[in-house]
Structure 1
Amino acid sequence: MKRNLALGLLILRLSVGILMLLHGLAKFGGALTFIESMLIEKGLPGFLAYGVLVGEIIAPVAIIVGFRTRIAAFIFVINCLVAMLLVHSNDIFSMSEHGGWALELLGIYMFGALALVFTGGGTYAVSKTNSWD
């Protein structure tokens, strides 16, 4: 059973990490400017937009390889919460036209990362002896 748990955590790490990494890399196509202007519009400093790169590129890479998985996943969860509150706040209590939660994709990312906060990276991780692993 332990082998299956380790494999399950690896699959969770890879799926959550790779999918968000791809999402984060898309920020280099101009979306970072959109986030910066949205933050300024809300009265926040525009440089906070670069925090997206930490939450959507650095943290996912750490999750993928299994380095300090718990802390990387925690940063990832915070990134998802900020996205929900700043960008998608109108949809938090909305349903999609197909009957699902309007933010289900972001929710899957966030709850998958939250599971990793509690479980850690598992056996197939680069680091596994630190309490943040």
Structure 2
Amino acid sequence: MNPALQQDLGKLLLRVTLGVLILLHGIAKLNGGLSGITGMVEAQGLPGFLGYAVLIGEVVAPLMLIAGFHARIGGLLVAVNMLVAIVLAHMGQLASLNGQGGWALELQGMFLGTALAIALLGPGRFSVNGR
């Protein structure tokens, strides 16, 4: 197989996988409400309406990734969303291991690392932007 084709298929796989997995979190928040998120934001002394920005990181950005529409920006939005989630909800687990011996934040870390990789690699040619 052509190496360029392999790279573009790999970028497609990264984008769609991350996009779908993060979008599921966004859909859950749309269905269940954002009161928990706004409460965490307010607990940090910030205005609660900033909690609604999670919809950018968990609905808009994943759709950008899936389509490959300005996927670098979508990747950065997901990365920022994950950093905020770690700060607001997971700081106590930062140096912890889970019951199986893995890092307690391995899912968040994988989402963050994948989002940054997409931001650096770009969407590939199987995308709306086609680059």
TM-score range, shorter chain: over 0.9
What TM-score do the two structures reach when normalised by structure 2? 0.95
Show the counterpart of 2:102.
100
* Coordinate RMSD, CA, aligned: 1.0
Alignment of 1:1-133 (within 5 A): 1-128=3-130
Structure 2: runs of 5 or more not aligned? none
Offset of residue 115 of structure 1: 0.3
What TM-score do the two structures reach when normalised by structure 1? 0.93
**Structure 2 CA distance for aligned equivalents of residues 7 and 41 of structure 1:** 43
Q: Secondary structure at the match of 1:57?
A: helix
**Structure 1 CA distance for aligned equivalents of residues 91 and 50 of structure 2:** 18
Task: Quickly say closer, same or farther: Cα 1:31–1:98, change in 2 above 3 A.
Answer: farther
**Structure 1 CA distance for aligned equivalents of residues 105 and 69 of structure 2:** 28
Offset of residue 29 of structure 1: 3.2
Task: Give the percent of matched residue pairs that are identical in Structure 1 and Structure 2.
Answer: 43
